[in-house]
Structures are given as C-alpha cells and as structure tokens.
Amino acid sequence: MGAGVIVDDYCQLIANSDERASIVMGENTFIRSFAMLNAGPPCGYIKIGKSSSIGQSSIIYGHGGVEIGDNVMIAGQCFIVASNHNFDQPDLPMNEQGHSAIGISIGNNVWLGAGCKILDGVTIGEGSVIAANAVVNKNVDSGSIIGGIPGKVIGQLNRGV
C-alpha cells in the first residue's frame, strides 16, 4: 500500500504474499466501506494507481488481472470481474466446464458510474466515462462516454487534445 491509502471499515481484501496473487494500491487511494477486492489466488492480481477510489459495496475480482490507472473514480456497487465461466459443452454440468480469465485494464482519469459492470477482456481507454448501470463487454476508446446494456458509445468528451 502506498502512502496515504485509506481502507474504510468492513472491506474485504483477499490476496496472499505471492506476487502473482496480490493487491497493490498506489498512494492516496481510497477504498470505501463494504468493498471487496479478491485478487483471485493463485495467480490473479489487482493493481490500483494513485489517487483512485473504489466506492461502497463495489466488487473487484482479479482472477485474470485487473489494472486500474491513476485518478480513477469507481462509484458504489460496481462489479469488475476478470474471469468468466465456460459453457460451451452442453454434455457437461456447468460447474465442470472451467473458466477463462483474460484480464481488465482501466486507463487513467476514468469515471465508472454507480452500479456499472465491467466484464472480462475489456480495456477502458483514458479519460472515459461509463454511465450508471452500464454493462461493458467490449473495449472502450479513450474519451468515450458509454451507457446502456450492452454498453454503447453515447458521446465523446472533448478535452482539447
């Protein structure tokens, strides 16, 4: 944990000392109450940049690796899951089909609105906004505003660059 990290009451951090299943928090990161971060032992991880915040009751599963940039705001009740259950073998029970884990990357200066879902394999570009309750299942270009289920571009931010 970097200097100035705050982890509120009733948070759950699941990791181990193995570098492959760790949670790393940059300086001045704030984890709000009831958030759950699960690195996904044995080889998942969660890396959070500096001055980022995770809202109340948000859940992050890092089984395929989750990288969150600097100055990222994640509102309450968001769900970020870097894995997925396989279901392509109808002759096998669901719980015997295994899973895949690609990973999620969230760029710097991103805002995830309340209740949004970010699914495995997604990269969210720098300076993007994900609207409340959106479900993001595809990559997001930098500066995009995404909303809906599934998430679609509903606008672009003009930052003068």
- CA gap 31, 58 in Å, rounded: 9
Catalytic residue, chosen from 8, 12, 85, 154, is 85
Contact of 83 with 40, CB cutoff 8 Å = yes
Is 99 marked active-site? no
CB 151, CB 138: distance < 8 Å: yes
Strands 66-68 and 46-48: parallel
Which neighbouring-strand residues pair with 54? Answer: 31, 74
Catalytic residues, which ones? 85
